Structure 1
């Protein structure tokens, strides 16, 4: 996995730098998202590993499939696809897309916050949490919410590599650890 990430990083950076220069960050993100979905398709994946199909033909098939799913594709995106195919790197598209997303988030000063609560958050609670996290991080916060009734109450929050456990379950575990220590 680390090897794929290492190989994908320069392609993602090149795509992002070009997209930024052309004011096309969103369209490139869409392109990479759809292209990585196509590459992840079982039928296309088997086509990628078929030695009887040349690199140019693989690129053309991907470009054609993308064109059928969306109305737009720039010549630069088609060229990017051909370059990946030439170097036998089409299978890296999901990793390239992941790295591109990280570069975009960094550029736009966005961070992802993952909140798991015992009960669904109200719209007001979500908004307040998002605002407080934005103030504390100095970034635009993209809130990802999930529900886990086993928390009993409260919530856990993960932002980057920081994890905060404000759940009742977490407090009970802490209390148990203190009592048994």
Structure 2
């Protein structure tokens, strides 16, 4: 919980700095953070090193310097990462990136969602669903499409903090509960 609060504060500060610099920089910061997190996810040992208090700040900065040299982010993101190292907050970097991307989506009017179906949807069906969701929400919708054969049929839709479970599995579960209660 505390890490989450810290991550939000750092993300908001970086976002505020990006807003002062302009929309182009705001997006560039998000892209640079995403590249760094992608590299860290590729080698989870690095995140463990950043969390481990046995390693000194200088050692962590040395590792960070090598990562940044390969990825070549902008100077603001590089300095931001070094600041996190100095403050002992490098382990918060993944959470900072997640919250920063949420702030960026909100700023750009983008809503992210996920659709889970039992079978793969055709491209025209995906576009139709996204179009209807954009029309309803009045915002740009970016959807992830996944297949889960366990839902049997229908779909599960998650947009923002709302969930619609119109799967056959869910309907069968409701029917099962009703039968248990004698309804």
- Give the TM-score range, shorter chain: 0.7 to 0.9
TM-score of the superposed pair, with normalisation by structure 2? 0.85
Mapped partners of 1:173, 1:58: distance in 2: 50
In structure 2, the partner of 1:24 is: 25
Give unmatched runs, 5+ long, in structure 2.
Answer: none
Structure 1 residue corresponding to 2:64, chosen from 50, 62, 87: 62
Is the Cα contact below 8 Å between 1:35 and 1:62 reproduced in 2? no
TM-score of the superposed pair, with normalisation by structure 1? 0.86
- Give the 3 Å change call, closer, same or farther, for CA 84–149 of structure 1 in structure 2: same
Map residues 38-117 of structure 1 onto 2, 5 A cutoff.
38-39=39-40, 41-48=43-50, 49=52, 51=54, 53=56, 55-68=57-70, 70=71, 72-117=72-117
Is the Cα contact below 8 Å between 1:155 and 1:167 reproduced in 2? yes
Is the Cα contact below 8 Å between 1:39 and 1:93 reproduced in 2? no
SS in 2 for 1:121: coil
Paired residue total: 177
SS in 2 for 1:166: strand
- Deviations along 1:121-170, one digit per CA (max 9) or x if unpaired, are 11011001001111111211111111112222211111122211222222
Give unmatched runs, 5+ long, in structure 1.
Answer: none
- Give the 3 Å change call, closer, same or farther, for CA 37–159 of structure 1 in structure 2: same
Two-structure CA RMSD over aligned residues (Å): 2.1
- Give the 3 Å change call, closer, same or farther, for CA 56–30 of structure 1 in structure 2: farther
